[in-house]
């Protein structure tokens, strides 16, 4: 546990000196405080591993000091051993209720004091180790959760996650009769890019396009990789006219972009757009919404146009 630093809160000069000498001989670093206010100030400004706290202090009761330290977020984990000439059960209970980790009546045996200090430090070390492992586990679980919902290459949502989000958004739109739009984006002649420059360049293009779509989308829009060289954007509370404007921004951003690994190539996309409520089609499921947008994309590709809506 290394060289532990002890805060000894004791108003008796002789008792403080005797305890300090003994503790320093046993390898501890000792900080002295003569009253409760000094003890609190010291703990707030210096690293302390354990506190030996006298119950009777000139300015405030040791239980009050203990209670304050245990209620404070920055100091609540520091072990506290109460020291007092009072040996009544009620006094011990009061100290433990205030948050003390141990209780040692005066006059105490130095060997017993050392053993109790070591026991508190050992317990704290075990608790700190467990907290560290729990923190590592929480971070690992967060990473796993992120991996489960994001596309590994582009870092945006994957197909499974956007399907989950769309299911919720579609139900909300249907229930409250609010519009929702969907666009499916396909990279034009992406196979030719892979054939000409290799899959490494193709992957770089996919990542850059994902970034451009994210930058062109609104904060409320949901952007995901739909698969291969296709992307999908869900636009909640968005009418078709607004979705078409968003699609135009994406087409413009991508067509004007100088791609890092292929700066001399103009890469473009085609987009299929659809929305509900629809004037003529009964789009009553999220699957139909996607299918209709996919059909619009097919028409855009077939007609050589950049954007098509159904």
pLDDT at res. 197 = 86
What CATH code is carried by the domain that includes residue 51?
A: 3.40.50.2300
Q: Are residues 107 and 169 in the same domain?
A: no
* Residue 271: strand pairing partners: 185, 307
- Given a cut of 60, whether residue 1 has pLDDT beyond it is no
Three-state DSSP at 158 gives coil
Chain centroid to Cα 142, Å, comes to 7
Q: Which of 133, 150, 174 is the last residue of a domain?
A: 133
Dig out the tokens for 51 from the structure.
Answer: 């506190």
* Residue 255: strand pairing partners: none
Q: What's the chain's average pLDDT?
A: 92
Question: What is the spatial distance between Cα 283 and Cα 289, in angstroms, rounded to a whole number?
Answer: 6
Q: Are residues 304 and 168 in the same domain?
A: yes
List Cα–Cα distances, 55 to 130, 179, 269, in angstroms.
31, 68, 76
**In which band, very low, low, confident or very high, does the pLDDT at 305 lie, cut at 50, 70 and 90?**
confident
**In which band, very low, low, confident or very high, does the pLDDT at 84 lie, cut at 50, 70 and 90?**
confident
Q: Could you tell me the residue range of the domain that residue 243 belongs to?
A: 159-309
Q: Are residues 244 and 295 in the same domain?
A: yes
pLDDT tens per residue across span 244-283: 999 999 999 999 999 987 767 789 999 999 999 999 999 9
pLDDT tens per residue across span 168-210: 999 999 999 999 999 999 999 999 888 888 999 999 999 999 9
pLDDT at res. 267 = 92
Total of domains in the chain: 2
pLDDT at res. 2 = 60
Mean per-residue pLDDT for 234-241?
96
Cis preceding linkage at 26, omega within 30: no
pLDDT at res. 97 = 87
pLDDT at res. 274 = 97
Its sign, for the CA torsion 177, 234, 297, 289, is: negative
Q: Are residues 80 and 220 in the same domain?
A: no
pLDDT tens per residue across span 103-142: 888 888 899 999 999 999 999 999 989 999 999 999 999 9
Q: Are residues 120 and 168 in the same domain?
A: no
- Given a cut of 70, whether residue 24 has pLDDT beyond it is yes
Residue recorded with tokens 């909300």? 172
């Amino acid at each position: 546990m290394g060289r532990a630093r002890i805060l000894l809160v004791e108003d008796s000069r002789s008792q403080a000196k005797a305890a300090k000498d003994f503790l320093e001989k046993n390898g501890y670093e000792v900080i002295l405080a003569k009253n409760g206010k000094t003890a609190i100030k010291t703990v707030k400004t210096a690293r302390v591993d354990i506190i030996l706290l006298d119950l009777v202090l000139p300015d405030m009761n040791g239980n009050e000091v203990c209670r304050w330290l245990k209620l404070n977020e920055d100091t609540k984990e520091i072990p506290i051993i109460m020291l007092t000439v009072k040996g009544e059960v009620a006094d011990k209970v009061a100290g433990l209720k205030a948050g003390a980790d141990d209780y040692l009546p005066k006059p105490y045996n130095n060997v017993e004091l050392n053993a109790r200090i070591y026991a508190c430090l050992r317990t704290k070390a075990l608790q700190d180790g467990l907290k560290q492992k729990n923190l590592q586990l929480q971070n690992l679980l967060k990473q796993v959760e992120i991996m489960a919902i994001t596309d590994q290459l582009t870092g945006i949502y994957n197909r499974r996650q956007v399907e989950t989000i769309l299911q919720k958004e579609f139900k909300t739109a249907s229930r409250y009769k609010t519009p929702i739009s969907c666009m499916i984006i396909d990279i034009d002649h992406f196979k030719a890019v892979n054939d000409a420059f290799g899959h490494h360049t193709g992957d770089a293009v996919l990542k850059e396009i994902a970034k451009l779509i994210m930058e062109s989308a609104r904060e409320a829009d949901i952007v995901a990789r739909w698969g291969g060289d296709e992307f999908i954007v869900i636009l909640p509370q968005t009418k078709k006219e607004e979705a078409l404007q968003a699609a135009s921004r994406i087409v413009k951003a991508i067509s004007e972009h100088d791609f890092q690994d292929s700066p001399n190539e103009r890469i473009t996309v085609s987009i299929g757009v659809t929305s509900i409520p629809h004037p003529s089609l009964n789009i009553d499921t999220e699957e139909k919404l996607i299918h209709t947008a996919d059909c619009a994309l097919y028409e855009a590709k077939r007609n050589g146009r950049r954007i098509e809506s159904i």
